[in-house]
Structure 1
Amino acid sequence: MGSKYYVLLRDQVGLKNISRKAMASAIFIKKLREEATCPICLELMTEPVSIDCGHSYCHQCIVGFTGNQSSDTSSPGTFHCPQCCKPFQSGSLRPNKQLRSMIQTFKEMNQSMCNEHGEQLHLFCENDGQLLCWCCERSPQHKGHFTATVEDACPGYQEKLQKAVTKLKFKESIYMQLKLDTTQKISSWEKKIKHEEERIHSEFTNLHTFLHQEEEFYMHRLEKEKEQKLSRLQDNVAYMDNKVEELKNGILELDKKCQCSARNFLQGIKDTLSRVSAINLETPEDVSLELHTVHSVSELQLSVRKILKCHQVNVSPDPDTRNQKLLIRLNEEKTTIYPRYLMESQTSERWNDIICMQGHERFTSGRHYFEVEMGAGAEGAVGVCLENAPRDIDIVREPQSGFWAIRQRKGKGCSALTFPPTFIPLRNQPEVIGIFLDCEAGIISFYNATLGSHIYTFTKASFSHALRPYFEAYSCFSLLQTS
């Protein structure tokens, strides 16, 4: 009984002695820190310098202080100490090497000292992954935990760290190869696109104006496909750059960790290993270089009318918009429009005093083609106009007013309704006029549908509202229907 009491008493005395030593160390560290703290920024001094009165500051802090203060008017370049207000010259700053050495020693000592007890951190707790002093080991927080000296714990974790570095380097090599492969894919894709562009351009340049429009249409789709896949490939490169950077940062962090002292090496070692192990190898989605926008011009029928008919739609006149002098006659093959005086009440949508009307169809997107049979010597105008185009008699029919049309008049030939009108020299007056509309490209083209020859094209048109077919009938003409 006496022996157990003696051991217990001895341990209690030992703990008290340790506590006194820890308290004394903590007080010493506190005083040392106060001496090394800059009175301006309240942090450990960086490049400490002393002034004439003997007080010391960070070099940057005292320089900033003098820059923000006005010097003594009686003695230019003279300032007053922030602590004791004694004067000093701005050019008299002296590096305090002794204080700088003390601060460095304090930093090194502080890293190896327990913040709570002021004792050396020469133990490592395997359970919590923390550096401990003797006081920490005997505390209830670490009771029953497995501890080892720093020297004994280091080799095992160094081996684990080396394995982690090996894994990261392996992952880095995979990403570097993936990046190289993707870069080569980008180069191959760009060459493939360039080759397809040259092939399409070469074949289309020898064809009619409409074929040139077809070229532009497919080039637009090809460019869009190119940008979409390039964007995905470049996103993959950016993703892999980020992964490579993440891996390099992890490797640098581990290399730096390996160069630390044993205590610094083990400080936060588990967190470091956990963080770098969390960098997963995630291969980005593969992007196929299969080209979807393909077009063989040689397979096209060289008859322009057959090509145009791929986009042909049926159009019909809108009775609510016709002038009272127009009559409409319907049959299975065509709709005939001809002038005739009719006693009808007018609606707000009718055209005033001009023998014209709109078609019933509305075009807002895509490509459309329709045909109007004018007949030999026929007079009138055909084309498209904005749905809300002005209907007054004194409005000039031109693109600025929302009209894109051509007009035939006896003795005056054919002209495009521009301002002023554009005369169109034609060898033969077309009996069937084809009107082709590309809403996205802003193009309205007119063709001699019988011969397949081009008449006129309005380009770079801008449509603020839906488009509708437009007709002026000074003589009989018909709207041809698809079979």
Structure 2
Amino acid sequence: MASASSTKKMRDIATCPICMNLMTHPVSIKCGHNFCQLCIIEFFNRVRLLNPAMTKLDCPLCRGPFDKNSFRPNKELENMIEVIKEMEEIDQQMLCKEHGEKLHLFCEDEGQLICWRCERSQHQGHATALLEEVYQSYKEKLQKAMVNLNQLQEECMKHKMFLTLQMDDWKEEINRKRQKIKSDFKNLRSFLHEEEKSYIWKLEKEEEQMLKRMRDSKASLEQKSSELQSHILELEAKCQGSVQNMLQGVKDALVRSSAVKLEEPENFFLEIHTMCNVSELYFDVKKTVKRYQVSVTLDPSTAHPDLFLSDDRRQVTRGCSKENLEASSRRFTAFPCVLGSEGFSSGRHYFEVDVGEGTGWDLGVCLENVQRGTDMRQEPEFGFWTIRLCKQIVALTSPPTPLRLSDQPLVVGIFVDCEAGVVSFYNMTTGSHMFTFPRASFSDTLLPYFQVYQHSPLFLPPPDE
């Protein structure tokens, strides 16, 4: 803190020699002396008013010549004047408001700055000390408090940073869950859409079959009605003819009319057999497809030589090629594939494949008469309806269709509706629909199909699991 004498010296330097106040917008003239800008301009104008011919004037302090063009703003001096004003304002604040004396004492009891008169009146008997005596100790206390606060601030920032990370993690988790919900509902809508098409197809099939039977019965009745009408007209004609015409061949006419019989028409029970519990489909996809679950085992006669089947024929792994295998025209020779023993030619069927965390597999169904050598092409046009995992999951349509799934399945469900021509795949880990091939017409029996990759065994769990 500057002393009073230092402040006074600075004020003397910054005082305008003309107005004797702290300079306002100080300017320097040629000789180097400083004045208020307004003061030196007024001085210049006053002198010029008395002697208009004068172009140069003498400095009010040193009599050195100067002209108006020599005025130069003195920014450094202007900044110093601002500092002086701030110091004087602080000095004013350091005076006792009650007694007008300098606050040079500190009352330890009250924690206040006081003057000597305050000490003798309101603070008599209190522990007091000069400001210089307590300054250093309180400065150290403040610094120690600052250290503690800085530590708390650092801890607070750590908590804030941790909370920010938690917020980001929470947002990411919420976003993942949001995408999962959207994906699940999208899959559910897809599943329900396919189920709707299947049930509508079955209902239309049932409608057409019943209408055909009823149309055939109606045609038979119309034919019988026409036959009866013909006999009625014949008998009416005889009744309206002469005696001779009526009696001529009357016995034959009566025999023919009595031979006409009306068979009891088919009694149609108009009961719809295609039933669909939409709420059940909506609430439990797993439960719905599992109603059609069948037991599937592997057919050794179709297995490629590199494949090894477990004794119960429910697990297959890939290894080294085996020799002396029984010859079979059903065996795959070019690719490590194997078929299921059970075929599907009608109705609805569902089976599951436990793929675990394998890095590659092909799953689905194929026609019984597909090619099994090097000319095998795994597409619907050639009798294959399959999906594949190899880096990503794709449906082997033509061209392949990438399946963008939020979760990779550990268990894949395969659903077949032979009449409707539907082959669908489900992620049974999440109970969500993965893909349904475009509707097809199966020309032969369908068999479960598997292609096995290295270090990725496949397992067929029994239906009760």
Given the two structures, how large is their TM-score scaled by the length of structure 1? 0.49
Is 1:358 aligned to residue 339 of structure 2? Answer: yes
Provide the rounded CA distance (Å) in 2 between the counterparts of 1:396 and 1:461.
Answer: 17
User: Given that residues 301 and 307 in structure 1 are in contact (C-alpha distance below 8 angstroms), is that contact kept between their aligned partners in structure 2?
Assistant: no
- Other-structure match for 1:448: 427
CA distance 1:265–1:292, change in 2 (3 Å)? same
2:385 is matched with 404
Residue 294 of structure 2 is matched in structure 1 by 313
1:226-283 Cα distance to aligned partner (Å, 9 max, x none): 3444344444444443444344434433443344344334433444455445555655
Structure 1 residue runs of 5 or longer lacking an equivalent are: 1-205
The one-letter amino acid of 2:307's match is: L
Secondary structure of 1:480's aligned partner: coil
**Which of 223, 233, 238 is the equivalent residue of 1:257?**
238
2:398 aligned with 1:419: yes
Residues 400, 279 of structure 1: alpha-carbon distance in 2 compared, 3 angstrom cutoff: closer
Q: Is the 8 A contact 1:443 1:457 kept in 2?
A: yes
What is residue 430 of structure 1 aligned with on the other side?
409
CA separation in 2, counterparts of 1:269 and 1:320? 77
Q: Structure 1 residue aligned with 2:285, among 287, 304, 313? A: 304
Asked if structure 1 preserves the Cα contact closer than 8 Å seen for 2:370 and 2:376, the reply is no
In structure 2, the partner of 1:337 is: 316
Residue of structure 2 equivalent to 1:481: 462
| Number of positions where the alignment pairs a residue of Structure 1 with one of Structure 2 | 274
Match of 1:376 among 357, 360, 383: 357
1:327 correspondence with 2:288? no
The amino acid of 2:461's aligned partner reads: L
CA RMSD of aligned residues (A): 3.3
Q: 334-343 vs 314-323, which deviates more?
A: 334-343
Residue 461 of structure 1 is aligned with which of 440, 444, 447?
A: 440
Query: Residue 223 of structure 1: CA displacement?
Result: 3.8
| SS of aligned partner of 1:311 | coil
How far is 1:407 from its partner? 0.9
Change beyond 3 A, Cα 1:218–1:346 = same
Deviations 1:381-437 (A, max 9, x none): 111223343333464322233322111112xx1112233322222222222111112
Cα 1:270–1:366 shift into 2, 3 Å: closer
- Per-residue CA deviations over 1:314-337 (Å, capped at 9, x if unaligned) read 222233433343334467xx9433
Q: Map of 1:41-440 to 2, 5 A cutoff?
A: 208-279=189-260, 283-300=264-281, 302-329=283-310, 335-341=314-320, 343-349=322-328, 350-352=331-333, 354-376=335-357, 378-393=359-374, 395-410=376-391, 413-440=392-419
By how many angstroms is 1:377 displaced? 5.4
Q: Which runs of 5+ in 2 are unaligned?
A: 1-186
Deviations 1:174-210 (A, max 9, x none): xxxxxxxxxxxxxxxxxxxxxxxxxxxxxxxx96444
User: Aligned residues: percent identity?
Assistant: 48
Distance 1:461 1:235, change over 3 A: closer
Cα distance in 1 between the residues matched to 2:192 and 2:212: 30
* TM-score (norm. length: structure 2): 0.50
**Which residue of the partner structure matches residue 117 of structure 2?**
none
Q: Which residue of 2 aligns with 1:470?
A: 449
Q: Distance in 2 between matches of 1:426 and 1:314?
A: 27
> Max radius of gyration: which structure?
2
Contact 1:368 1:436 (C-alpha < 8 Å) held by counterparts: yes
CA contact (8 A) 2:426 2:435 kept: yes
Give the stretch that moved more between structures: 279-288 or 355-364: 279-288
Could you tell me how far apart the structure 1 residues matched to 2:356 and 2:199 are? 35
CA gap 1:255/1:225 in 2 versus in 1, 3 angstroms: same
Give the 3 Å change call, closer, same or farther, for CA 406–281 of structure 1 in structure 2.
closer
* Deviation sequence 1:48-100 (CA, Å, 0-9, x none): xxxxxxxxxxxxxxxxxxxxxxxxxxxxxxxxxxxxxxxxxxxxxxxxxxxxx
Task: Name the SS of the counterpart of 2:291 in structure 1.
Answer: helix
Q: Distance in 2 between matches of 1:391 and 1:273?
A: 72
Q: Which amino acid aligns with 2:315?
A: T
Cα deviation for residue 300 of structure 1 reads 4.5
Quick check: 2:348–2:416 contact (8 Å CA) kept in 1? yes
CA distance in 2, matches of 1:402, 1:273: 65
Q: Could you say if the C-alpha distance between residues 404 and 234 of structure 1 is closer, same or farther in structure 2, counting changes exceeding 3 Å?
A: closer
Q: How far did residue 221 of structure 1 move?
A: 4.5
Q: Distance in 1 between matches of 2:251 and 2:409?
A: 87
| Equivalent residue letter for 1:311 | Y
What secondary structure does 1:469 align onto? strand
Partner of 1:68 in structure 2? none
Change in 2 beyond 3 A, CA 1:360/1:234: closer
